[in-house]
Amino acid sequence: QVHLVQSGAEVKKPGSSVKVSCKASGDTFINYLFSWVRQAPGQGLEWVGGIIPVFRTPTYAQSFQDRVTITADESTSTVYMELRGLRSEDTAVYYCARGPAGIVGATPLDYWGQGTLVPVTS
Amino acid sequence: QSALTQPASVAGSPGQSITISCTGTSSDIGAYDYVSWYQQHPGTAPKLILYNVSNRPSGVPDRFSGSKSGTTASLTISGLQLEDEAHYYCSSYTHLYTPVLFGGGTNLTVL
């Protein structure tokens, strides 16, 4: 059984950074694609970026290109997403999701974490 | 504004069928069969219900089906059940700068 367990909620101030973790268990870690998807309150889903741990090279959404870093730690089967320069519009639930390795975006996300709420407020 | 266009809401009665459309462009839905659909109940994470236009993951009832014509993908739910009341999101691959696009979501009400 695959489980994705994310770190807890964090309240952040504008201009600061947040780093959210996602620990995977139950299956081989490095041969899958991990994506980060966010959802602002009452809004839809927005893809932030993704990484295949065995390749180590992440792919980012254009709108986050300059502010986000996604990494993977094979030793702990954990994926991280760091978002910098936070603004109020970044207030959202951030989800980690896993799918089969392949072309980023072309593979479905079949397992999801529980989500991490990041309120950005002064 | 979302990259893929979905109706904001649809409604149906138990036992009926409904269809949710997802309209894209020739750079995404029109070019690839990498369309997925996700179901999301309030306060929970999204759940994959269809991938590659019409494939169902294990455990998803065959009441859920998908199709594609040109730049529009569709999700059909037949034999509506009360538990189907949720938000539904389409997603597609695109060869443009951001490879993953989502629709704005459709709120399904089962009356």
pLDDT tens profile B30-70: 999 999 999 999 999 999 999 999 999 999 999 999 999 99
* B1, pLDDT greater than 60: no
Instruction: Give CA–CA dist B45/B48, Å, rounded.
Output: 10
Q: Which residues of B touch A106 (CB under 8 A)?
A: 32, 34, 93, 99
- pLDDT at position B2 is 62
Q: How far is B24 from chain A (nearest CA, A)?
A: 15
What is the overall mean pLDDT for chain B? 96
* A13, pLDDT greater than 90: yes
Higher pLDDT residue, A30 or A106? A106
Residue at B94: amino acid letter: T
Q: How far is B48 from chain A (nearest CA, A)?
A: 5
Maximal CA-CA distance, chain A: 41
Q: Which residues of A touch B106 (CB under 8 A)?
A: none
Instruction: Give CA–CA dist A104/A35, Å, rounded.
Output: 9
Which band of pLDDT confidence, cut at 50, 70 and 90, is reported for residue A26?
A: confident
| Portion 64-93 of B in contact with A at CB < 8 A | 89, 91-93
Using one digit for the tens of pLDDT, what is the confidence trace for A61-84? 999 999 999 999 999 999 999 999
Residue written as token pair 């995977």: A24
Give, as one character, the DSSP assignment of residue A7: P
E strands present in chain B? 9-12, 18-23, 35-40, 47-50, 64-69, 72-77, 86-93, 100-102, 106-110
The Cα-based distances of A16 to A33, A72, A88, A118, B98 in angstroms read: 28, 22, 11, 12, 25
- pLDDT at position A27 is 76
Backbone angles phi, psi at A67, to 5 degrees: -120, -5
